[in-house]
């Protein structure tokens, strides 16, 4: 009876032992697989331990100022390592698989994206500096507020409200200035100045890829013009015009005059202006003023000459002589006919 019990127990021992061994083997296998490293972004997976670091600075292509918060992606061996520049425009990416070619992609809102390619040595730090050019252009027409001609010696600058610096304009002709590679999506203070003129500053928002502006500058000097007769009496109804080198000319508004005296704003560029005055019953007269420098007021007097009236006595004598000639000719013709 006891032997029968043992026989029945043997039938369960072998399967139980096999089951326990199977569980043990499965557990050991799972632990071994968990210990195998899996490469992720930012980790080298070539098994050599040859990892490298890429660092650099992202700057504005026009101003050279650092660009913060730029997105940086390093693509190596099919893996992407992402980071962003700090307040000084610097970035660093470590654990990049070395001894191969990598691509560095840099992007920032308002700029053209740039991709740089480098061959990175193993176990070394490679510097990849990147310059970004803005997407926008500002074109500014700068003209003289008095003569209306373009100003070719102006300084035109746009200063960003952020930290990307100041962009300088280049004169492209006829008083037109072009500021290129300006980041879009930014507000600027547009500063325009020129020798002999009062500068102007105006806000400009660069929302699209091109912005056109027109600025007129007023001179920083003056002409004090006195219009009088040859006897020194003021001509109260005179009109005045001013001409500069090159032929540009403007009529002085009546509001600038006060009973024969005119205060005329002109550019203080060292030029000698030609002042012409006219008035009813007078002949127009032009004089050249002394050179006008910055901030100066130059006084100029224009003396008008009245037309010379034809003498009445002389007129009568001439008329009498003509009548005598005509009458004599008539008498001579009559004598011939008789």
Q: What is the CATH number assigned to the segment(s) 136-217?
A: 2.60.40.1120
What's the pLDDT score for residue 78?
A: 87
What's the pLDDT score for residue 142?
A: 98
Q: Which string of DSSP letters, residue by residue, matches 252-310?
A: PPGGGEETTEEEEEE--EEE--EEEEE-TTSB-EEEEPPPEETT-EEEEEEEEBPPPPP
CATH class of 221-304: mainly beta
What's the pLDDT score for residue 161?
A: 82
Quote the pTM value.
0.74
What's the pLDDT score for residue 333?
A: 62
What's the pLDDT score for residue 82?
A: 97
Q: Exposed, middle or buried: residue 132 (CB in 10 Å: 0-12, 13-18, 19+)?
A: buried
Low-confidence residues of the chain: pLDDT under 70 = 1-50, 163, 308-320, 323-338
What's the pLDDT score for residue 22?
A: 47
The CATH number of 51-132 is which of 3.30.413.10, 3.40.50.720, 1.10.357.10, 2.60.40.10? Answer: 2.60.40.10
Percentage of the chain lying above the pLDDT 90 cut: 70
Location of structure tokens 């970004």: 132
Q: Give CA separation, 197 vs 144, 265, 275, 297, 301, in Å.
A: 9, 10, 20, 14, 24
Q: What are the pLDDT digits (tens) for 237-291?
A: 999 999 999 899 999 998 888 889 999 999 999 999 999 999 999 999 999 999 9
What's the pLDDT score for residue 80?
A: 95
What's the pLDDT score for residue 326?
A: 61
- The span from the CA of 39 to the CA of 239, in Å, is 88
């Amino acid at each position: 009876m006891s032997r029968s019990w043992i026989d029945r127990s043997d039938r369960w021992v072998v399967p139980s032992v096999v089951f326990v061994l199977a569980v043990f083997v499965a557990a050991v296998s799972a632990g071994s697989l968990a210990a195998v490293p899996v490469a992720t972004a930012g980790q080298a997976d070539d098994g050599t331990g040859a990892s490298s670091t890429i660092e650099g600075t992202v700057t504005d292509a026009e101003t050279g100022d650092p660009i913060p918060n730029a997105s940086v992606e390093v693509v190596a061996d099919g893996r992407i390592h992402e980071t962003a520049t700090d307040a000084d425009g610097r970035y660093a990416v470590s654990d990049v698989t070395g001894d191969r070619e990598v691509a560095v992609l840099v992007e920032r809102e308002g700029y053209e994206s740039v991709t740089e390619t480098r061959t990175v040595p193993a176990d070394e730090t490679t510097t990849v500096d990147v310059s970004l050019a803005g997407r926008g252009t500002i074109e500014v027409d700068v003209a003289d507020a008095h003569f209306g001609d373009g100003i070719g010696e102006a300084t035109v600058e746009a200063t960003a409200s952020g930290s990307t610096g100041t962009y300088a304009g280049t004169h492209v002709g006829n008083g037109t200035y072009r500021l290129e590679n300006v980041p879009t999506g930014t507000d600027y203070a547009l500063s325009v100045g020129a020798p002999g003129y009062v500068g102007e500053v105006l806000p400009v928002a660069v929302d699209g890829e091109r912005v056109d502006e027109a600025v007129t500058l007023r001179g920083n000097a003056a002409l004090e013009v006195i219009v009088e007769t040859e006897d020194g009496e003021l001509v109260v109804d005179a009109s005045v015009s001013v001409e500069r080198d090159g032929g540009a000319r403007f009529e002085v508004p009546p509001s600038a005059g006060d009973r024969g005296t005119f205060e005329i704003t002109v550019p203080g560029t060292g030029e000698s202006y030609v002042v012409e005055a006219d008035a009813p019953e007078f002949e127009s007269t032009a004089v050249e003023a002394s050179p006008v420098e910055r901030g100066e007021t130059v006084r100029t007097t224009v003396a008008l000459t009245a037309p010379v009236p034809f003498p009445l006595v002389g007129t009568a004598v001439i008329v009498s002589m003509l009548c005598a000639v005509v009458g004599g000719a008539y008498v001579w013709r009559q004598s011939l006919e008789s």
